[in-house]
């Protein structure tokens, strides 16, 4: 019985536990999160120490697993057994049949979770599991879904982060949820009493220096300061930053500038600008100051430059560092 | 370094320490034993860094000194020498040792004594005295439920929980399927309560030393921050303690079951042995059916056939059908002495207890297996 992750969460919230689960997909982080949720729903903290068992299909011994599954638990009422990596199972037909025969029986007070990257649904084993188990496929989140995931994740910890900052985190750190979660945990440790994650907090995490440098680059370009911009750009390139990522951050800055300039021409105040560009007031003020340096026409011309740079980065044999240096020089042309 | 020693005395000393040496490890020094000659005695040391054993042997020291020799080689050499002979041991140049016994001569390369891991120093004033027979019995009776190696999937540690106060001494072990518990009188003069997890390997080594030691009524025990030290006569055993979680299973010991049977241990053992001939090879499940005045056993192996047996028991309560792993029942029936045992049960989902009559200070608690499966 195929269900969605949201449905599984809803059922767990209602304390509905199934005797057999099948979790497939490549999003290991979400699979582990689902296992944790079932563990917390089925076992108390004390029971988890005694009645939670994880086996790995590539080296699991059925003679350890089956007797354990067959024995009533010492503490509490439930026993939870997780068998991970079914796709790596190197067992023969006989052993697979033994596992299938074992799984075919519901056992009192036993919950089994099987995980696999994918299951061949044409086999007897696959057919049985997809029909009888509560099966959830965990898709890797698309890059545009990750910022919302970050916002939700932070919210569940009782803190908050703006969507734009979550987008920056995604652009810098990628869409590996485990990594993002680790970075968030580090940020929480440094936040102390603060409840809102800001750029200041991002700067202290492992890749924070890079994030901070990217912001510095964007800020210096917004202020038309060629020397520090080139210096930061070279540092970032030396550290192995992705040129397209840096370009996207520069474009983001100038998108803010364009929007701000347009709003300023319409006579809008700082508060309205802040609302439109989804940035805290302190950063909005910086953007307003920077927008004053550029004419609207110049900003439009620069957009054409960004497009050209993007094309060069994707198609030219020229060094990405040189292409970006030329862009920095073009942006700061008036100040040279 | 040079000494003369009786072959049997030398072999006795080597046998005490050589078990802990790691023959096929990544650190060559751990496959060696350290020999120190001084004060008319040979001091022998062996360690795997978790356990260390120090033993002594009487010898005529001609020149003091120390050397490390392969545990396997020295043990093999001494075993091949004639008993009641005398061994002459000389450390020559470049860590080479010459061992002669009459016309027999061996040259064995060793390692420098300085390479051998140092043994911990301890304050013997902190040691307390424990009757050796008591400790031996505790290890024997608890050891059967303690897994030898750490099993990734099990939360049960590969060690026994040992608690000692002035009032009582308790040991508890579990492998996730069963648990055993023993209580003995406390230790006088103990300054602080002891609560440690004693590793299975150290339990085995201590029991082996106790088995081989005669005329030692009491042993000294010292409990330090992360290690435990036992002194059995002139032999010392040092063991690191396990820093892990021990499941809270005390409730199973306290709870009492209402269906109580007194059974002849020999008859019970024979019946279980017979019926388990027809259990599945890897899952040794047998079914017990308890009725008025009768205990019925059965087993089934789908590929071979089935078996049944029964014998009369003094029981007038409600009937019960319960499944157990026959190996776990045989383990305890083989260890218990006496002609009768008591078996306590309550229902097919709850633990069974096997114990000696009129004795709740040693309990063997076993979880039943699930009998009623429902198809998906």
Per-residue pLDDT tens for B224-278? 888 999 999 999 999 999 887 787 777 777 777 889 999 999 999 999 999 999 8
Residue A104, chain B, CB below 8 Å: the answer is: yes
Lowest mean pLDDT among A172-186, A240-254, A297-311: A172-186
- What is the length of chain A? 336
Q: What is the mean pLDDT of residues A34-53?
A: 89
Q: Answer yes or no: do A50 and B249 touch at CB < 8 A.
A: yes
Nearest 5°: the CA angle A279, A285, A290 is 105
* ipTM computed for the complex: 0.72
Tell me the average pLDDT across B326-347: 93
pLDDT, tens digit, 9 for 90 and up, residues A283-321 = 888 889 899 899 988 998 999 999 999 999 999 889 999
Q: Are residues B136 and B90 in the same domain?
A: no
Distance in Å, alpha carbon of B246 to nearest chain A alpha carbon = 9
Chain A residues with CB under 8 Å of B249 CB are 50, 74-75
Supply the pLDDT for residue B229. Answer: 95
Are B187 and B149 within one domain?
yes
Give residue B265's pLDDT.
94
Lowest mean pLDDT among A205-219, B86-100, B170-184, B353-367: A205-219
**Nearest neighbour of A50 by CB, restricted to B155, B282, B283:** B155
| Range name among A129-138, A200-209, B356-365 with the lowest pLDDT average | A200-209
Report H helices in B173-325: 200-212, 250-254, 265-275
Structural domain includes residue B352: yes
Does the pLDDT at position B160 exceed 90? Answer: yes
pLDDT at A209 over 60: no
Q: Decide if A70 and B370 are in contact by the 8 Å CB cutoff.
A: yes
In a domain, B122, yes or no: no
Q: Are B58 and B41 in contact (CB under 8 A)?
A: yes
Is the CB of B375 inside 8 Å of chain A's CB atoms? yes
Residues of B in contact with A62 (CB under 8 A): 282
In this prediction, residue B247 carries a pLDDT of 76
Helix (H) / strand (E) containing B327: helix B326-335
Q: Which of B285, B368, B370 is the closest to A107 by Cβ? A: B370
pLDDT attached to residue B240? 93
- Helix or strand (DSSP H, E) at B17: helix B7-17
pLDDT of residue B323: 93
State pLDDT tens for residues B294-332: 999 999 887 889 999 999 988 888 999 999 999 999 999
As a whole-number percent, the residues of chain A with pLDDT over 90 amount to: 35
Chain B residue numbers with beta carbons less than 8 Å from the beta carbon of A52 are: 155
Answer whether residue B320 is part of any domain: yes
Q: Which of A67, A72, A75 minimises the CB distance to B248?
A: A75
Higher pLDDT, B238 or A237: B238
Last residue of a domain, one of B90, B115, B140: B115
**Do B105 and B162 share a domain, yes or no?**
no
> Does pTM surpass 0.90?
no
Looking at B85, B115, B145, the residue that finishes a domain is B115
B280, pLDDT greater than 90: no
B100 and B9 belong to one structural domain: yes
Q: What is the mean pLDDT of residues B120-132?
A: 87
**Shortest alpha-carbon distance between residue B280 and chain A (Å):** 11
Q: How confident is the model at residue A166 (pLDDT cuts 50, 70, 90)?
A: confident
Assign B86 a pLDDT band (cuts: 50, 70, 90). very high
Assess whether B259 and B367 both reside in one domain: yes
B residues 114-173 near A, CB within 8 Å?
Answer: 151-156
Q: What is the mean pLDDT of chain A?
A: 87
Is residue B249 less than 8 Å (CB to CB) from chain A? yes
Same domain, B110 and B139: no
Cα-trace Rg, chain B: 25
One domain for residues B206 and B305: no
- Domain assignment present for residue B159? The answer is yes
Q: Do A72 and B373 touch (CB under 8 A)?
A: no
- Which of B156, B177, B249 minimises the CB distance to A71? B177
Q: Is residue B250 domain-resident?
A: no
Give A205's pLDDT tier (boundaries 50, 70, 90). low
DSSP B357: T
pLDDT range class, residue B117, cuts 50, 70, 90: very high
Higher pLDDT, A59 or A185: A185
Same domain, B25 and B104: yes
Mean pLDDT, to the nearest integer, of B280-294? 87
Q: Is residue B174 part of a domain?
A: yes
Minimal Cβ distance to B247: which of A20, A72, A75: A75
pLDDT of B376 higher than 80: no
Q: What is the mean pLDDT of residues A156-173?
A: 84
User: Does residue B248 sit within a domain?
Assistant: no
CATH of the domain at B37: 3.10.150.10
A97 confidence band (pLDDT: 50, 70, 90) = confident
pLDDT at position B370: 81
CB contact under 8 A, B368 and A55: no
Q: Which residue is listed with tokens 């951050």?
A: A249
- Residue A186: pLDDT band by 50, 70, 90 thresholds? confident
Q: In what order do the strands lie in the sheet with B178-185?
A: B194-199, B159-164, B168-174, B178-185, B362-366, B352-355, B340-345, B259-264
Beta carbons of A74 and B247 less than 8 Å apart: yes
- Calculate mean pLDDT across residues B206-226: 89
Structural domain range at position B211: 131-240
Same-domain check for residues B152 and B211: yes
Pair B365, B322 in one domain: yes
Domain end: B206, B240, B274, which one?
B240
Question: What is the mean predicted confidence (pLDDT) over A233-259?
Answer: 88
Using 50, 70 and 90 to split pLDDT, how confident is the model at A208?
low
Region B322-347: what's the mean pLDDT? 93
Residue B41 falls inside a structural domain: yes
Q: Rounded mean pLDDT of chain B?
A: 90
Q: How many independent structural domains does chain B possess?
A: 3
CB A22 within 8 A of CB A133: yes
More confident site: B88 or B371: B88
Q: Above 80 in pLDDT, residue A46?
A: no
Q: What are the pLDDT digits (tens) for A265-274?
A: 888 888 888 8
Tens of pLDDT, residues A54-71: 999 888 888 888 888 888
Closest alpha carbon within chain A to B178:
A74
């Amino acid at each position: 019985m195929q269900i969605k992750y949201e449905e599984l969460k809803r059922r767990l919230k209602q304390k509905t536990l199934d005797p057999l689960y099948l979790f497939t997909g490549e999003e290991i982080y979400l699979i582990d999160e689902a296992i944790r949720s079932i563990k917390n729903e089925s076992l108390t903290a004390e029971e988890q120490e005694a009645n939670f068992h994880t086996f790995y299909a590539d080296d699991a011994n059925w003679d350890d697993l089956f007797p354990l599954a067959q024995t009533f638990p010492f503490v509490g009422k439930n026993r939870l057994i997780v068998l991970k990596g079914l796709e790596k199972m190197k067992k023969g037909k006989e052993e697979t049949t033994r596992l299938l025969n074992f799984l075919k029986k519901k056992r009192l007070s036993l919950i089994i979770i099987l995980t696999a990257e994918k299951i061949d649904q044409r086999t007897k084993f696959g057919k049985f599991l997809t029909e009888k188990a509560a099966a959830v496929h965990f898709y890797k989140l698309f890059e545009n879904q990750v910022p919302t995931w970050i916002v939700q994740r932070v919210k569940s910890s009782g803190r908050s982060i703006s969507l734009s900052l979550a987008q920056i985190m995604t652009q810098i750190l990628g869409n590996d949820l485990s990594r993002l979660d680790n970075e968030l945990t580090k940020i929480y440790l440094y936040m102390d009493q603060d409840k809102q994650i800001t750029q200041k907090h991002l700067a202290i995490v492992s890749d924070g220096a890079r994030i901070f440098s990217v912001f510095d680059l964007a800020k210096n370009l917004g202020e038309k300061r060629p020397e520090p911009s080139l210096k930061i750009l070279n540092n970032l390139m030396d550290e192995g930053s992705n040129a397209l990522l840096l370009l996207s951050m520069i474009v983001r800055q100038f998108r803010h500038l364009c929007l701000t300039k347009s709003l300023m021409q319409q006579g809008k105040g700082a508060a309205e600008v802040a609302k439109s560009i989804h940035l805290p007031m302190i950063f909005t003020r910086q953007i307003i100051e920077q927008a004053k340096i550029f004419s609207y026409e110049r900003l439009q011309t620069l957009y054409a430059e960004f497009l050209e740079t993007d094309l060069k980065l994707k198609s030219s044999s020229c060094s990405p560092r040189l292409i970006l240096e030329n862009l920095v020089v073009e942006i700061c042309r008036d100040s040279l | 370094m040079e000494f003369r020693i009786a072959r049997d005395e030398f072999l006795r000393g080597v046998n005490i320490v050589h078990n802990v040496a790691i023959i096929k490890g990544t650190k060559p020094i751990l496959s060696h034993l350290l020999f120190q000659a001084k004060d008319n005695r040979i001091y022998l040391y062996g360690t795997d860094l978790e356990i260390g054993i120090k033993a002594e042997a009487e010898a005529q020291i001609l020149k003091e000194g120390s050397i490390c020799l392969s545990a396997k080689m020295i043990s093999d050499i001494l075993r091949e020498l004639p008993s009641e002979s005398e061994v002459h041991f000389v450390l020559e140049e470049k860590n080479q040792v010459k061992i002669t016994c009459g016309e027999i001569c061996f040259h064995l390369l060793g390692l420098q004594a300085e390479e051998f891991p140092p043994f911990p120093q301890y304050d013997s004033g902190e040691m307390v005295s424990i009757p050796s027979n008591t400790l031996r019995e505790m290890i024997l009776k608890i050891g059967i439920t303690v897994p030898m190696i750490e099993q990734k999937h099990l939360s049960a540690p590969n060690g026994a929980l040992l608690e000692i106060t002035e009032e009582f001494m308790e040991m508890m072990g579990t492998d996730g399927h069963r648990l055993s518990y023993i209580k003995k009188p406390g230790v006088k003069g103990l300054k602080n309560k002891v609560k440690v997890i004693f590793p299975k390997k150290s339990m085995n080594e201590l029991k082996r030393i106790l088995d081989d030691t005669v005329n030692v009524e009491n042993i000294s025990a010292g409990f330090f921050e992360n290690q435990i030290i036992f002194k059995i006569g002139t032999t010392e055993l040092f063991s690191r303690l396990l820093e892990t979680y021990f499941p809270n299973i005390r409730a199973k010991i306290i709870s009492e079951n209402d269906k109580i049977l007194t059974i002849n241990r020999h008859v019970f053992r024979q019946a279980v042995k017979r019926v388990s001939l027809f259990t599945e090879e890897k899952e040794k499940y047998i079914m017990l059916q308890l009725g008025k005045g009768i205990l019925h056993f059965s087993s089934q192996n789908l590929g071979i056939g089935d078996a049944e047996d029964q014998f009369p028991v003094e029981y007038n309560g409600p009937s019960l059908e319960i499944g157990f792993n026959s190996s776990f029942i045989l383990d305890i029936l083989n260890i218990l002495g006496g002609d009768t045992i008591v078996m306590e049960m309550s229902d097919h989902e709850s633990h069974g207890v096997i114990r000696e009559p009129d004795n709740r200070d040693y309990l063997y608690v076993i979880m039943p297996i699930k009998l009623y499966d429902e198809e998906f």
